[in-house]
């Protein structure tokens, strides 16, 4: 794992689990970001690189300097930033990094979420304000919200606007992720597959494949990346999930369109789980009964586990019968 020294702005490689305490940055990419190669070139010849500064380059370097400065002020000598801590020219390293990313965010001492389009203001953040931020609509930032125990949110001027703890109810309202999950990422593993899929509904990624790859950590899945496979990546993700769990809620999707009378068993994207974002909490929690491992633990308070599953599967009779 590469970490950026918050004082020298130089990269250091750490092998194994012997890692120093580190901060981690979560952000949305701009038109130009500082890559590992660009950062190393800057250190090798700073005078030359300074003559090539554009507004986009300056903004990208400012992001690194600001996040390093905040981390240093908070007592952290190292920070991880995806743009410059991964050698993206190496497909093997990129694959390893993406498969490890949830764990890296989870093990970080603190995550700084930079909302570049949140204007500086004194008003209290609301659900609608957060939903307008690009950070809350991107695929990769879903795990970056859930995995770290501590997340600090900064606006466009790098002013601290709140934490995941202080904003948990507003964030939950905006994302439909339960406050219990926001407070304790470990609770996520008892959440039904379909419900976790619904968290990603409506989120966007630049590449089609990343809509699946950004969810690997959410579902505790590891597999090689195959850029170029397109929408097959999301099908491959579902196949891997089915291999590792008996939670049949994975099949509780609804089609985006009714134009096709026949469909295969797999959903085409997380958007086909959107309906779960708008159902009562009790019904959504009922999906957990699809996994036999949870039947005893969650049977109390439910007269019939089997009946609850049937209600969920019969919401769209045609699709359910075709799949069963």
DSSP states of 203-245 = -B-SSTTHHHHTTTTTTT------TT-TTHHHHHHHHHHHHH-
Torsion on CA atoms 126, 132, 133, 135, rounded to nearest 10: 110
Cβ distance 250 to 237 under 8 Å? no
Question: Which residues are within 8 A (CB) of 301 and not within 5 positions of it... i.e. 6 or more apart?
Answer: none
Q: Determine the pLDDT at residue 280.
A: 60
Read off the pLDDT of each residue in 297-314 and give the average, rounded to a whole number: 39
Nearest of 201, 146, 148 to residue 178 by alpha carbon:
146
Structure tokens at 94: 């990129």
Are the CB atoms for 227 and 207 separated by under 8 Å? yes
Least confident of 150-159, 255-264, 312-321: 312-321
Q: What does each C-alpha distance from 231 to 208, 211, 266, 268, 272 come to in angstroms?
A: 6, 9, 11, 7, 14
Please, are residues 218 and 139 in contact by the beta-carbon 8 Å criterion? Answer: no
Stretch 155-181: mean pLDDT = 96
- Greater confidence (307 vs 64) lies with 64
pLDDT classification of 158: cutoffs 50, 70, 90: very high
**Inter-residue contact 28 to 116 (CB < 8 Å):** yes
- Is-contact 227 217, C-beta < 8 A? no
Backbone phi and psi for residue 160, each to the nearest 5 degrees, phi listed first: -65, 125
Between CA 253 and CA 245 the distance in angstroms is: 17
Residue 319: is its pLDDT beyond 80? no
CA distances to 44, 84, 152, 223 from 191, in Å = 48, 33, 25, 22
> pLDDT per residue over 199-210, tens digit each?
999 999 999 999
Is residue 36 within 8 Å of residue 116, measured between CB atoms? no
3-state secondary structure at position 52:
coil
Contacts of 17 (CB under 8 A, 6+ apart): none
Distance CA 155, CA 113 (A): 9
Residue 74 has pLDDT above 90, yes or no: yes
Strands, E assignment, 127-218? 151-154, 160-163
The pLDDT score that the predictor gives to residue 182 is 96
Q: How confident is the model at residue 16 (pLDDT cuts 50, 70, 90)?
A: confident
Query: In 125-209, at which residue ranges do the beta strands (DSSP E only) sit?
Result: 151-154, 160-163
- For 36, phi then psi, to 5°, come to -60, -45
Distance CA 274, CA 239 (A): 20
Round to whole Å and give the CA distance between 120 and 122: 7
What is the enclosing helix (H) or strand (E) of 63?
helix 55-73
Please indicate whether residue 207 or residue 247 has the higher confidence score (pLDDT).
Answer: 207
Show the beta-strand stretches assigned E in the chain: 2-5, 11-13, 23-26, 78-80, 110-114, 151-154, 160-163
C-alpha span between 15 and 18 (Å, rounded): 7
| CB-based contact 181:188 (threshold 8 Å) | yes
């Amino acid at each position: 794992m590469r970490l950026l020294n918050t004082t020298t702005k130089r990269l250091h490689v750490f092998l194994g689990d012997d890692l120093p305490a580190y901060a981690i940055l979560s952000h949305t990419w701009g038109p130009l970001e500082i890559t590992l190669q660009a950062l190393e070139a800057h250190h090798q010849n700073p005078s030359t690189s300074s003559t090539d500064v554009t507004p986009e380059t300056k903004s990208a370097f400012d992001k690194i300097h600001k996040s390093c400065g905040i981390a240093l002020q908070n007592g952290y000598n190292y920070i991880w930033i995806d743009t410059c801590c991964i050698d993206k020219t190496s497909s093997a390293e990129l694959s390893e990094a993406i498969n490890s990313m949830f764990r890296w965010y989870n093990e970080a001492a603190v995550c700084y979420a930079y909302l570049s389009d949140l204007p500086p203001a004194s008003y209290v953040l609301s659900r609608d304000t957060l939903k307008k931020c690009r950070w809350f609509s991107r695929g990769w930032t879903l795990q970056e919200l859930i995995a770290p125990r501590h997340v600090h949110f900064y606006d466009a001027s790098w002013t601290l606007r709140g934490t995941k703890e202080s904003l948990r109810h507003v964030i939950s309202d905006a994302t439909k992720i339960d406050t219990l999950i926001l407070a304790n990422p470990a609770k996520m593993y008892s959440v039904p597959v379909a419900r976790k899929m619904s968290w990603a509904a409506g989120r966007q990624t630049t590449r089609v494949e990343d809509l699946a790859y950004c969810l690997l950590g959410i579902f505790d899945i590891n597999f090689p990346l195959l850029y170029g496979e397109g929408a097959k990546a999301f099908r491959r993700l579902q196949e891997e999930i089915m291999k590792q769990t008996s939670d049949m809620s994975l099949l509780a999707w609804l089609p985006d369109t009714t134009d096709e009378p026949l469909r295969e068993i797999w959903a085409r994207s997380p958007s086909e789980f959107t309906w779960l974002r708008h159902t009562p909490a009790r019904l959504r929690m009922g999906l957990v009964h699809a996994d036999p491992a949870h039947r005893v633990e969650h049977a109390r308070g439910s007269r019939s586990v089997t009946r609850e599953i049937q209600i969920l599967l019969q919401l769209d009779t045609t699709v359910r019968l075709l799949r069963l």
